[in-house]
Amino acid sequence: MTRVAVNGLTGRMGGAVVETAADRDVEVVVGFATSDVERAHGVPVVHPDEAADALREYDVEVVVDFAAPEGALTVADACAETGVAMVVGTTGFDEDGLDHFAAVSAEVPLLKASNFSQGIQVLQRLVGEAVRALDDYDLELMESHHNGKVDAPSGTANSILATIQEERDVDPVYGREGHAPRDEDEIGVFARRAGDIRGEHELILAGNDEVLSLSHRAEDRGVFAAGALDAATWLVGRDAGQYEFGEVVDAS
């Protein structure tokens, strides 16, 4: 049974990971959070500043992270110190944060993904194929998430945008207002935040009197929790380095 620690245990995704782990050969033995609680979801809670000691005490094999950027980086340092693998689902990092993870991955196996849905992985591949084939169509990218999500656009939307930009030289325009004629080399990017939306992403390609829509909707957070746990069990025992969730999907 794989021994897992969850960073961001008291959050929405932390609870989903614990719930999903109950049906797998995985045991969540400790969690990290800044909340002033001793236990959450039946799991002991430790402050991220004390993560290194907790990783040793609970004999953790891999950390699954769905937290805030600052806390994720703190726990990443603890993983590097203790030799524990790390799966990172937190988004919203700046370039310094991404460089920080690159340094950590020199010490331990690390897998960072903006989305742990298998469907999103397939969508990414379809996006690349569609943009290559319809290279003169207009592009618009839209995403929707719950009202508590703080980064915009979402990490998944940014990943889709990066896939598009590998194929076409387009400049993102984040929303439009007033007199805003469309440039042929732009892509509109729109973020919506409302209610308890789990995650919706849609790319439309329009031209030649037709519209192609590529979209994905998550019905439950368990989708992401399951993918993160798949990544965690896959990552344990691998060499230090940076890995991609697509490798996990391809191996399944």
What residues act catalytically? Answer: 145, 149
Amino acid at position 126, single letter:
L
Where do we find the tokens 């995650």?
199
Contacts of 153 (CB under 8 A, 6+ apart): 141, 143, 161, 174, 189, 191
Distance from C-alpha of 60 to C-alpha of 63, rounded to nearest angstrom: 7
Cβ pair 203, 216 in contact under 8 A: no
The closest alpha carbon to 60, from 228, 236, 249, 241, belongs to 236
Radius of gyration (C-alpha) of the chain in whole angstroms? 19
